[in-house]
Amino acid sequence: MSLAHLTEAVTAELLLKYDRPGPRYTSYPTANEFHESFGPAEYAALLVEAAAREDEPLSLYVHLPFCHERCTFCGCNVIITRRPEVSARYLDLVAREAELIAGKLGRRRRVVQYHFGGGTPTYQSAEELRALHARIGEHFEIAPDAEVAVEVDPRVTTAEHLAVLREIGFNRLSLGVQDVSGEVQEAINRGQTPAQTEEIFSEGRRLGFQSINIDLVYGLPRQTRGRFARTLEETIRLRPDRVACYSFAHIPWIRGNQRRIRPEDLPEAAEKFRLFGQAIEAFLGAGYDLVGMDHFALPGDEMARAARAGTLHRNFMGYTVMPASDMIGLGVSSIGDLRGAYAQNTKKLSRYEEALAAGVPPVERGIVLTPEDALRRDVITRLMCNMRLDIGAVEGRFRIDFAAHFAEELAALRVPESHGFVKVSPEAIEVVGAGRLFIRNVCMIFDTWLRKRQGGKPVFSRTV
């Protein structure tokens, strides 16, 4: 069966069996397991430890949380305000955090992945972004070949924004589109015309951005295959280098803004599944490669090449081709991945400011990985990225007998194997055929934290 027809192999019974809540695994353990006994002191100690590895590069994520209004589908940590003085003050705080963290990292300042995310980074003026980048650049060295990316909202982004971003070294754009249908946009409180998207896309091309990505979401309210077809056509017409086609994570018990979405407007699981199948068929038919679980890239793009080579990586910024041993997060709610631990900044702007005024990292919670966590993170990440796990390589890295250590998991894999979703041999675990559509379910087999949560309150979106 060709990749373009993956969904055709999945019966209603299989869909019902596999459609259950599960993580997206931008981390393992997931952020739901972070706890407040990990705080500023623990993070500061890890920064000092990280400083000793001065030859190793870093990833750096900067969270710019402001938006003028909130989309009802949004699951991000955002701050809604139309008071520019609030965001201006925030940018100063981020720069102060950069100085504080860099001081603890000593000479270890080289960054190979640098990302402005949000919120809406282009909520800020072009000159504010220039100034923030300059102040961060006083403390961190952005490598000449670094992946320097920014998320932009075509509704508020201007040609001046793009010109300044390109001038100061940004080489990748990610454009939020979601869906071009007026009916869907009305349901998610996001009015955005195809002309607005095309204008920013074309300007990015003219300015020479190395890679342009478009974000789409399937499973949105009022979304139908007919309406989604137009979104896919418009996207393919622009021919972005990459497309992220995310499953709508409906979690109204966590994100109150999603309570404004009427459940009856959402496509049922089977229809949502077919929407993603429609995207796969459209993009593969247009010459894109399917990368990971929900990305598409032109064959010559770095992401597609990394996927073919088995070197794709995944972190809180999503799929990436520039893995670094440690990631620093700046700004409210940002998450760092440092020396075998995750650390998350406070989500409250007032607490963020208080911590920086006191000269301490604004970390509110986190978790130190055990050796077992590190092993399972490696297994899950490699499956999520490359759809294949080299068992001998895992045994070599972690000095284990894989069959003995994961006897329970190998037994559990017989179920998806019987459905043609995986192939298991003494040498490898391979996710095949329609199993790619259920990669989260496959990885959940290796998740011991998830087993402990069974029967508790829901915290994850559904896998379909």
Structural domains of the chain, with CATH: 1-28+371-464 (1.10.10.920), 29-327 (3.80.30.20)
pLDDT of residue 325: 82
pLDDT of residue 440: 94
pLDDT of residue 84: 87
pLDDT of residue 4: 61
Q: Which residues of the chain have pLDDT under 70?
A: 1-4, 454-458
pLDDT of residue 2: 58
CA-nearest of 353, 377, 381 to 367 is 377
pLDDT of residue 291: 95
pLDDT of residue 42: 97
Judge if pTM exceeds 0.85: yes
Q: Across-strand partners of 174?
A: 151, 213
pLDDT of residue 20: 86
pLDDT of residue 353: 97
pLDDT of residue 458: 64
